[in-house]
Chains A and B, each alone.
Chain A
Amino acid sequence: MLKRVRFCSLLVVTIATSAYGQQSVQWDVGSPQTIIAGSGCQKDVDAFASTNGNDVAVVFTRLGVNLPGGGSPALADRKNCAVRIPATIAPGMYIGQLTQRITYGVLKTARTSGAVATRSTFFGFDVSPYTVSVPYGYALNQPLLTQQRIDNFRVQTTPSWVQGWCSRSRAPRGFYQANIAVSGQKDHRYEDLIMFVDGLDLKYEVATSVVRCGL
């Protein structure tokens, strides 16, 4: 009898573990705490976000700088978007890696410069700032560019860190927060600086990788 109870208990534990294993990060993009807002984006209007498992995908259709030559007299522009998504990590896991991928386009003359920058935190940990620069001094005609960056989180062994992340009974809850900014400037109103080309969008993909405590 005891053996059978043990067997059945083991089965239940296995099922529960598998259920956590299915989704080690649970995002809550539908939560009222989710924010996608800024001068270059508005959630569910010109920016859609999707989350599943360890993945986040956001598409922006208005996050860009458009300073065509001969257009408006403005010589500089900046657009930003703040993204905040609540997340819960399965008990006994911690964050190991964060991958960010940006797809964008640039069309510019030589006497202009621009940048796409993200500054993000995951559960309060700073992810080192990620900037893609389009420097002054040469023309660029690249409507489809992709940049990817991988950050590894340093594991600490202090008791408070271990208690915070590795409790078997408590699932750590926090936020993924990112501020994405697109900026550009030019020397003269007749220079062209378009980040991004008319009709092209900015796509932002984030993948997290979690590690089981003790491994």
Chain B
Amino acid sequence: MQNKFCGLLMPILVILMSPASYAKPVLNDWFALGSGCRARSDLAGNVTMEEAPAFGGGSDKYKAKFLFKGFSLDGAKADHASARFGRECAIRLNINPPLGKKIHAIRAYTKILVEKPSGLVLDLLSELKLGATSLGREQYTLSNDEKWKSRELAVKLSAAAGSKESFPQLGCSEPKIIGFDYSWIATGVKDKNTPFSVELAGERSLVIEADLVDCASE
């Protein structure tokens, strides 16, 4: 009788405890919005997201790749009434660690391609966020006298629990919003024919990776 009871109940409990029983994918809803992009997981636009399968031995690493079409800061499209103009794109991606797991680290990789004559200043800022916390910023300021011909800038931002003060204290299975912001600003645009451009290099992507760990391990 006793064996029968637990024999029936235990498989149900095991199914309930498995992460798969909480159907929510680890990386799910997202949006991309800004003066240079507009798309959402349920709304087609100039950004798409490819979720790579979980990678790494313990399957505790997750990866999302955002592909951008037509996101650029283009001198030919500048509003010449103003000496400064910019293009931005803010990505927000929901992450839902399964039961018994928590977020341990977040990384983001992207490459920027710059074409710039002398006579204007470019500020290129990238910021990685987790909720309302900034995990890191990288800013390149290309000065007035610098000339760049199809040069690439690699941006790598990362933060992990315990290694950086800014990484927030997270609860077990606590869902969060990962954010990545691009801000590209040109200053001193005087001539309508000044050819300059900033766009994403290569396959025009942003890769966001998240490592999860067992809650008991930290």
Contact = CB atoms under 8 A, between A and B. Distances in A.
A194 B175 contact: no
A200 interface: yes
Interface stretch (A81-89, A99-107, A126-134): A99-107
Interface string A114-158: 000000000000000000000000000001101010000000000
A11 B5 CA distance: 15
A1 B2 contact: yes
A52 B96 contact: yes
Contacts of B81: 68, 71
B44 interface: no
Nearest to A100: B132
B131 to A, nearest CB: 4
Interface residues on B, range: 35 or more
A203 B131 contact: no
A51 B29 CA distance: 9
Contacts of A206: 132
Given A8-B9, A61-B35, A146-B134, A200 B88 contact: yes
* From A8, A47, A194, residue with most partner B Cβ within 10 Å: A8
A21 B84 contact: no
Contact of B13 (A8, A51, A57): A8
Contact of A53 (B2, B36, B123, B176): B176
Given A55-B132, A197-B84, A197-B185, A8 B6 contact: yes
B89 to A, nearest CB: 9
B17 A15 contact: yes
A201 B172 contact: no
B142 interface: no
* From A5, A44, A54, residue with most partner B Cβ within 10 Å: A54
A48 B176 contact: no
A99 B43 CA distance: 29
Interface string B66-90: 0000000100000101101111101
B13 A143 contact: no
A50 B16 CA distance: 28
B136 interface: no
B132 A1 contact: no
Nearest to A206: B132
A159 interface: no
Contact of A144 (B9, B10, B82, B183): B183
A196 B60 CA distance: 41
A198 B34 CA distance: 11
Interface in A176-204: 194, 197-201, 203
Given A50-B177, A200-B88, A99 B123 contact: no
Contact of A50 (B6, B29, B36, B88): B29
A143 B86 contact: yes
A178 B155 CA distance: 34
B95 interface: yes
Contacts of A37: none
* From A22, A199, A200, A206, residue with most partner B Cβ within 10 Å: A199
* Top 9 closest pairs, chain A to chain B, by CB: A53-B175, A207-B132, A199-B86, A205-B132, A22-B173, A199-B35, A52-B94, A55-B131, A101-B132
Given A21-B171, A101-B132, 8 more contacts: A15-B99, A19-B99, A21-B173, A50-B177, A53-B131, A53-B175, A55-B131, A203-B181
Interface of A: 1, 4-5, 8, 11-12, 15, 18-19, 21-23, 44, 47-48, 50-57, 59, 61, 68, 71, 99-101, 103, 107, 143-144, 146, 148, 194, 197-201, 203, 205-207
